[in-house]
Amino acid sequence: MLEDVLRKYFSDIVNDILLIPVGMDRSNYEQPLNADHAVNACAGHIESGAVIEGKRNIYPELAAAGLWSTPTDLAKFAIEIMDAFNGKSQKVLSQTMAKEILTIQVEPYGLGFNVTGRGNELTFSHAGANEGFQYILIAYPAKNAGIVIMTNGDKGLSLIVEILLSVANEYSWPNLPKITEKAVIKDIDSDLLNKYTGHYLIPASLLGPNQIVINISKSDNKLIISNTQITRLLKSFLNLN
């Protein structure tokens, strides 16, 4: 619709109203990437660890899946939203619009973001994935703080969770689970691990309209969870869908 009304390509529209004003000079909506940009783009990895055929997919649905970016550029985006919210910038948004974006419209979402907390604990976040890539952005306007974590693998969310909770614990960020003690690695009896292998069913009512089957197996005396849907479980745990 934007292209029809403005008579411009979607990529040009976003460049003009967002990427250029915010200084996101390493972000674009090229699908596929041109040769110069492709040299600097990482390859995606599927759950097995193998590189995606062609290194990365091509997505025609630009608004939903076409953005190429970096943690630094997405952090600039989050900072601009916080600055607009706090009345420090109008490069892209007025303070009124920024506040509307970070106001819950339909629980737990504002306009484009998951929104939790109020006042000093107001938090906005967004998590996303294309095949072979996963990321999360979370920010706190009252604290002028936040983090962007990006990975190039379908198992990246487990690493994201570890980094996110560690940073949140260090800086006492609200609305995230607290780390009460450090993990201690211990050897576990192999027979005990065998008792936990098998298929586990997560009922549809817990995480949405579809039930999830999680497969747990044992390898090298370790338990392995294998199912791409486990990412939905972790996102639900963090309330970052």
- Label residue 219 by pLDDT band (50, 70, 90): confident
Do 209 and 156 lie in one domain? The reply is no
Do 145 and 88 lie in one domain? The reply is yes
Helix runs in the chain, H state only: 2-6, 10-14, 20-22, 35-38, 62-65, 71-85, 95-101, 156-171, 190-194, 204-207, 230-238
Q: 26-40, 130-144, 167-181: which has the minimum mean pLDDT?
A: 167-181
Q: Is residue 184 part of a domain?
A: no
Q: What is the pLDDT of residues 61-113, one digit of tens each?
A: 999 999 999 999 999 999 999 999 999 999 999 999 999 999 999 989 999 99
Cis peptide before 108 (omega within 30 of 0): yes
Do 130 and 55 lie in one domain? The reply is yes
Q: Is residue 167 part of a domain?
A: yes
Q: Is residue 177 part of a domain?
A: no
Q: What is the pLDDT of residues 33-63, one digit of tens each?
A: 999 999 999 999 998 999 999 999 999 999 9
pTM: 0.77
**Mean predicted confidence (pLDDT) in 175-180:** 80
Do 160 and 204 lie in one domain? The reply is no
* Structure-token pair, residue 201: 């069913």
In this prediction, residue 204 carries a pLDDT of 58
In this prediction, residue 230 carries a pLDDT of 55
Describe the crossing of helices 156-171 and 230-238 by its angle, rounded to 10 degrees: 20
**Mean predicted confidence (pLDDT) in 135-145:** 96
Name the nearest CA neighbour of 133 among 147, 151, 148: 151
Domain range for 216 is 190-238
